[in-house]
A and B are shown apart, each in its own frame.
Chain A
Amino acid sequence: MSTALAPPRARSRLLGRDVLRLGTTGLRARPTRAVLSALGIAIGIAAMIAVVGISASSQARLNDELDRLGTNLLTATPGKSLLGKATTLPADAVGKIGRIDGVQSVSSIAVLSVPVFRSPLSDPDATGGITTTVADDALLRVVSGSVRSGDWLNPATSGFPAVVLGHAAAERLGVVSPGTQIWLGSNYFTVVGILDPVPLAPDLDRAALIGGPVAKELFGFDGSPTTVYERSDDAAVDRVRSLLGPTITPQSPSDVEVSRPSDALAARNAANQAFTGLLVGLGSIALLVGGIGVANTMVISVLERRREIGLRRALGATRWHVLVQFLGEALLLSALGGVFGCALGTAVTGVMALVNDWPFTLPAVTIAAAVASTLVIGAVAGFYPAIRAARTPPTAALSS
Chain B
Amino acid sequence: MNAIISLEDVQRSYGEPPVLACAGVTLTVERGELVAIVGPSGSGKSTLLNIIGTLDRPTGGVARIDGLAVADLDDRALSALRAHRIGFVFQQFHLAEGVTAVDNVADGLLYTGVPRAERRRRAVTALGRVGLSHRLGHRPNQLSGGERQRVAIARAVVGDPPLLLADEPTGNLDSASGAAVVELLHELNRQGTTVVVITHDVELAETLPRRISIRDGRVVDDFAEPGVAA
Please list the residues of chain A having a beta carbon within 8 angstroms of any beta carbon in chain B. Answer: 1, 9-15, 17-18, 21, 25, 29, 307-308, 310-321, 393-395, 398-399
Contacts and interface: CB of A to CB of B under 8 A. Distances in A.
Contact of A14 (B84, B98, B110): B110
Nearest to B46: A399
Contacts of A15: 113, 115-116
B107 A13 contact: no
Nearest to A316: B83
Interface in B86-104: 88, 90, 92, 94, 96-98
A312 B97 CA distance: 14
Q: Interface residue tally of chain B, by bracket?
A: 20 to 34
B77 A9 contact: yes
A311 B97 CA distance: 13
A318 B115 contact: no
Interface stretch (B48-56, B120-128, B135-143, B189-197): B48-56
Contacts of B46: 399
Contacts of B88: 314-315
A9 B77 CA distance: 9
B41 to A, nearest CB: 13
A307 B82 contact: no
Contacts of B155: 315
A14 to B, nearest CB: 6
Contacts of B108: 315
B22 to A, nearest CB: 12
A156 B64 CA distance: 114
Contact of A395 (B1, B56, B75, B112): B56
A315 B75 contact: no
Contacts of A13: 83, 111-113
Contacts of B94: 307-308, 310-311, 398
A315 B110 contact: yes
Nearest to A21: B116
Interface string B67-92: 00000000111011111100010101
Contact of A394 (B55, B83, B98): B55
Given A10-B112, A18-B110, A313 B77 contact: no
Given A18-B110, A314-B88, A395 B55 contact: yes
A13 B92 CA distance: 26
Nearest to B95: A311
B55 A314 contact: yes
